[in-house]
Amino acid sequence: MTLSQAQVDVLIRKHEKLNSGVLGGARADFSFHDLSGLNLVNSNLSDTDFTGARLFKCDLSGSRLERASLFAADLRNADLGGAVLRRADMRGICARGANFSRADLSQTDLREGAIAERQKIGVFNYLSHAGNAPRAVQATDSAVIVSENSPRTGFVLPQADFSDANMTRCNLTRANMKNARLDHAILQGADLSGADFTGASLDGAILCGAIMNLTTVSKAALALALTDAPAGKRVQELDHPLDEILHSHALWVASGGKTGRHADLSGVDLRNTDVLEASELTALKAENAVFYGLSLRGTALQGAQLMGADLRGVDLREADLRGANLTGARLNHANLRGSNLGPLQVSGGRQICTRLTGACIRYANLSNAQITGAIFGGADMTGAVGLDAP
C-alpha cells in the first residue's frame, strides 16, 4: 500500500505522542507500505515497524530509529545522515547508494534475512527490492525466513546490502555485520570498534581513517579495500619533491616539450597532498595512481593518461578532461559537475576523444558536464547523476 506524505505525517505525530506519553498516541506500523520519496526528517520513529517497507529515496536524516524493525526494508538511495539506529533490526535490508554519514548504527543487527510469501502450490516466493524476479523455495514453518532457518530451506538468503552506501563517520560499534555486502561503500572515519564483519564483502570499500579496535574482519576482505596503508608508491619516495615535479611539468607543457620534464606519477599514492588543485597537468602520465578524496577542481588534465587511476570521491568540478584516457579508472562518487569530457582538438584538424571505456562511474555527479563525443563503452554508470545514456 502506497502512503501519501499527509498520511505519514499523521501516523508520525501519533507515534511521537506515544513515545512522549501524551494522550492520543498510537504506534506507527509502516510494514509492507511504500513510502518512496517521502520526507521523515528529524522524526522520532523509535520502535516503529518498517518490516518489508519500501523507503526508496526517503529522507530520514536526523531521525531516531532506535530499536526499529527495518527487516528486509528497501532503503536504496535513502538519506539517513545523522540518524540514530541503535539496536535496530536491519537484517536483509537493501541500502545501495544510501547515505548513512554520521549515523549511529551501534549494536544493530545486519545479518542476512528475507521475507517469503507462501503460494498455493506449497512453495514460497521471497521479497526482492533489487528488481530480480522472485525465486521459489521449499515451504517452511514460517513465512518470515531468517538466517537461522537456512539449513531447513536449503537456499542462500540475501545479505544486508550496503553497496555504494556513504557511511562516512558512521558509528558501527558492536554491529553484527556478518556476511553483509559493503562493496564500494564509503566507511571513511567510521567507528567499527567491536563490529563483526565475518564473511562480509568489502570489495572496493573505503576504510581510510576507520577505527577498528577489536573489529572482526578477515585479512582477505581488507586486502580488497582502500585503507590508510599505502596503495602504491608514496610521494616521499619520488626522486624529487612533488611540487618540483609539477613545476617542471608546467614548463614542459608551456614550452611544447623544449624545457622542463614530462611528469610521470604512475602508481603513486597521492592522497594527503594539497598541490594538485587548479594545476597545469596537461598530458600528465598517472596510470594506476591514487587520487582518492583529493580536490582537482578546475585542473587542466587535457590528454592526461589516467588509465586505472583511483579517482573515487575526487572533486573534478570544472576540470578540463578533454582527450584524457580514463580507461578502467574508478570514479565512484566523484564530482564531475561542469567538467569538460569532450574531444581535444589537436594539430592537423584531428581530435582525441575522452575515453572512459570500462570505467566505474557509480554514483558520480556529472551534472552540466560536457560529454558529447566521450567514449563510455562498458562503463558502469549505476546511480550516476546528470548523465543521460550516451
* pLDDT per position as a tens digit, 296-352: 999 999 999 999 999 999 999 999 999 999 999 999 999 999 999 999 998 888 999
- Tell me the per-residue pLDDT of 245-264, one tens digit each, with 9 for 90 and over: 999 999 999 999 999 999 99
Q: Is residue 272 part of a domain?
A: yes
Contacts of 292 (CB under 8 A, 6+ apart): 206, 208, 226, 271, 310, 311, 312, 313, 314
Q: Is residue 110 part of a domain?
A: no
Q: Is residue 27 part of a domain?
A: no
More confident residue, 1 or 101: 101
Q: Is residue 77 part of a domain?
A: no
Number of domains observed in the structure of the chain: 1
Q: Is residue 381 part of a domain?
A: yes
With 90 as the cut, is the pLDDT of residue 123 above it?
Answer: no
The whole-number average pLDDT for the span 41-60 is: 94
What are all long-range contacts of 154-158, with beta carbons under 8 Å and residues at least 24 apart? 157/92, 157/112, 157/113, 157/114, 158/92, 158/94, 158/112, 158/113, 158/114, 158/126, 158/128
10 Å Cβ neighbour count for 148? 10
pLDDT of 156 reads 33
- Tell me the per-residue pLDDT of 200-212, one tens digit each, with 9 for 90 and over: 999 999 999 999 9
Say what the pTM is: 0.82
- Tell me the per-residue pLDDT of 17-36, one tens digit each, with 9 for 90 and over: 888 888 888 999 999 999 99
- Tell me the per-residue pLDDT of 351-378, one tens digit each, with 9 for 90 and over: 999 999 999 999 999 999 999 999 999 9
- Tell me the per-residue pLDDT of 65-85, one tens digit each, with 9 for 90 and over: 999 999 989 999 999 999 999
Q: Is residue 358 part of a domain?
A: yes
- From the list 350, 341, 258, the residue with the least C-alpha distance to 302 is 341
* Cα-Cα-Cα-Cα dihedral sign, residues 299, 297, 270, 371: negative
Spatial distance between the Cα atoms of 1 and 33, rounded to a whole number of angstroms: 5
Q: Is residue 156 part of a domain?
A: no
* Cα-Cα-Cα-Cα dihedral sign, residues 352, 353, 359, 360: positive
Residue 61 Cα to chain centre, angstroms: 17
The whole-number average pLDDT for the span 226-230 is: 94
Whole domain around residue 366: which residue ranges?
231-390
Which residues is 34 bridged to in the sheet?
Answer: 2, 54
With 80 as the cut, is the pLDDT of residue 89 above it?
Answer: yes
- From the list 176, 175, 199, 172, the residue with the least C-alpha distance to 188 is 172
Q: Is residue 293 part of a domain?
A: yes
More confident residue, 146 or 345: 345
Average pLDDT, the chain: 87
pLDDT of 226 reads 95
pLDDT of 371 reads 94
Spatial distance between the Cα atoms of 46 and 16, rounded to a whole number of angstroms: 9
DSSP structure class, residue 219: H
